[in-house]
């Protein structure tokens, strides 16, 4: 993927990360948490142009949930509220036991996609999401057995090394999510985005995820570099400095508007499936 | 007896007037609603423990540095 793809009018896949599991309504009351709220947000994000929905399950209190049962309730609600989107379940889970991390893969039907964290990252002062190679391999193996395409979560450059470790076992095209922000993620800068993209093997499809105030500039850059983008309240609670985002759809609408102005068509769900060979 | 952190409460309203439909975890050590991920420490899920895993708890209890623990064997060279 490259600037040439942008000029050639390659469709842009927009992923909406609707809720996450790190922050919730205590940070922005517009973050959807219950299955009903997430389903409503999903429908609006689809209407706005998102073709992939990245989902985390929560309890009604906003706390994280990893059980297949809660993911089933969530995905059923989202599927009922949406027309035809690609469902992507998170398998992330700082401090959660390894056995729980596979639970989101076991819904019926299985999600078309799932996230696969490629290495360790720090949380707060005392927590680390270890994401050992053994866990990565186990989750990947279960994804393969269930026909789920992994999105490789590359939180920093070292995680790209870790991705290359399993590269030959990935179905084409590999789909890499390049993450920029604070802490253990890649330092957010245009130069670092260029460098990370330069390090991707030929034939990779990449997505840009940048936290907080970096979401808008770096995803816009990703659009121009022929990549795909992820936006949403999981990654960014604000529409602009000092103004909280009203909804996930508001963030998707802005991305679609920018892509359209730049002459990059936004992928339909069918086009997204074709690009990712789902 | 609750096995949760002594600073954990469940509230629908906060001191700043924020209100929620469902009870949420609230930390009385810092007087704020707790992020969902951090709540797993407050509730001691997954083997987490505020004493070792929460800086707010450690500060409130004046526990000092995590390297101050007594009885730690001299470790081998890990550098």
> How close, in Å, is residue B3 to chain A by CA atoms?
17
Using pLDDT thresholds of 50, 70 and 90, give the confidence band for residue B75. Answer: very low
The answer to whether A60 contacts B22, with C-beta atoms less than 8 Å apart, is: yes
Q: What is the pLDDT of residues A223-250, one digit of tens each?
A: 999 999 999 999 999 999 999 999 999 9
Q: What is the DSSP letter of B70?
A: T
Query: Dihedrals φ, ψ of A28, to 5°?
Result: -155, 115
List the one residue out of A141, A131, A133 whose CA is nearest residue A171: A141
Q: Which residues of chain A have pLDDT under 50?
A: none
Burial of B26 (0-12, 13-18, 19+ CB in 10 A): buried
The answer to whether A95 contacts B33, with C-beta atoms less than 8 Å apart, is: no
Domain encompassing residue A200: 3-276
The model carries a pTM of 0.95
**Residue A127 · residue A95 · CB < 8 Å:** yes
* Buried b / exposed e along A187-211 (16+ C-beta atoms within 10 A): ebeeebbeebbeebeeebbbbbbbb
Rg (CA), chain A: 17
Burial of B70 (0-12, 13-18, 19+ CB in 10 A): exposed
Mapped onto helix, strand or coil, the DSSP state of residue A53 is strand
**What integer pLDDT is reported at residue B71 of this predicted model?**
44
Percent of chain A with pLDDT over 90: 99
Degrees to nearest 5, angle at CA A137 with A132 and A138 = 100
The answer to whether B36 contacts A96, with C-beta atoms less than 8 Å apart, is: no
Q: Which residues 23-52 of chain B have a CB within 8 Å of chain A?
A: 23-25, 32-41, 43, 45-46, 48, 52
Using pLDDT thresholds of 50, 70 and 90, give the confidence band for residue B78. Answer: low
**What integer pLDDT is reported at residue B79 of this predicted model?**
58
Q: Are strands B32-33 and A205-210 parallel, antiparallel or unpaired?
A: unpaired
Is B17 near chain A, with CB under 8 Å?
Answer: no
3-state helix, strand, coil in chain B (%, to 5): 30, 20, 50
B78-to-A127, A128, B9 alpha-carbon distances in Å? 20, 19, 40
Is B9 near chain A, with CB under 8 Å?
Answer: no
**What integer pLDDT is reported at residue A230 of this predicted model?**
98
Question: How many domains are there within chain A?
Answer: 1
**What integer pLDDT is reported at residue A195 of this predicted model?**
98
**What integer pLDDT is reported at residue B1 of this predicted model?**
39
Q: What is the pLDDT of residues B37-72, one digit of tens each?
A: 999 999 999 999 999 999 999 999 999 988 876 544
Query: What CATH code is carried by the domain that includes residue A223?
Result: 3.20.20.70
The answer to whether A94 contacts B37, with C-beta atoms less than 8 Å apart, is: yes
> How close, in Å, is residue B78 to chain A by CA atoms?
19
Is 90 exceeded by the pLDDT of residue B74? no
**Residue B57 · residue B27 · CB < 8 Å:** no
- Peptide linkage before A109 cis (omega within 30 of 0): yes
List the one residue out of A71, A65, A73, A59 whose CA is nearest residue A25: A59
Degrees to nearest 5, angle at CA B20 with B14 and B25 = 60
**Residue B23 · residue B11 · CB < 8 Å:** yes
Question: What chain A residue is nearest to B35 in terms of C-alpha separation?
Answer: A23
Q: Please list the alpha-helical segments (H only) found in chain A.
A: 3-7, 35-48, 68-81, 98-101, 133-146, 157-165, 190-198, 215-224, 248-261, 269-276
């Amino acid at each position: 993927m490259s600037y040439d793809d942008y000029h050639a009018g390659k469709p842009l896949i927009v992923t909406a990360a609707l809720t996450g599991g790190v922050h919730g309504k205590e940070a922005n009351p517009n973050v959807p948490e219950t299955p009903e709220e997430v389903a409503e947000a999903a429908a609006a994000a689809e209407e706005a142009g998102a073709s992939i929905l990245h989902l985390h399950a929560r309890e009604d209190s906003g706390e994280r949930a990893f059980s297949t049962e809660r993911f089933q309730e969530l995905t059923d609600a989202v599927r009922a509220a949406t027309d035809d989107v690609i469902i992507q379940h998170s398998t992330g889970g700082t401090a959660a036991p390894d056995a729980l991390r596979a639970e989101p893969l076991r819904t019926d039907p299985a999600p078309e996609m799932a996230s696969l964290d490629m290495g360790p990252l720090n949380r707060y002062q005392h927590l680390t999401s270890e994401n050992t190679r053994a866990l990565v391999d186990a989750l990947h193996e279960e994804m393969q057995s269930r026909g789920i395409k992994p999105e490789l979560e590359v939180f920093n450059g070292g995680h790209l090394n870790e991705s290359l470790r399993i590269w030959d076992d990935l179905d084409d095209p590999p789909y890499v999510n390049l993450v920029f922000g604070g802490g253990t993620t890649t330092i957010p800068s245009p130069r670092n985005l260029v460098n990370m993209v330069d390090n991707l093997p030929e034939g990779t499809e990449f997505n840009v995820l940048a936290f907080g105030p970096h979401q808008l500039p770096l995803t816009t850059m990703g659009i121009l570099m022929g990549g795909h983008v992820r936006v949403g309240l999981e990654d960014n609670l604000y529409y602009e400095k000092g103004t909280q985002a009203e909804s996930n759809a508001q963030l998707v609408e802005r991305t679609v508007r920018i892509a359209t102005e730049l002459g990059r068509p936004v992928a339909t769900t069918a086009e997204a499936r074709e690009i990712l060979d789902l | 007896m609750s096995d949760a952190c002594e600073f954990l409460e469940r509230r629908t309203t906060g001191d700043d007037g924020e209100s929620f439909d469902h009870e949420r975890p609230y930390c009385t050590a810092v007087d704020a609603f707790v992020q969902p991920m951090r709540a797993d420490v407050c509730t001691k899920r997954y083997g987490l423990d505020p004493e070792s895993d929460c800086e707010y708890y450690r500060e409130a209890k004046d526990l000092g540095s995590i390297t101050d623990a007594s009885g730690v064997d001299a470790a081998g060279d890990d550098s």
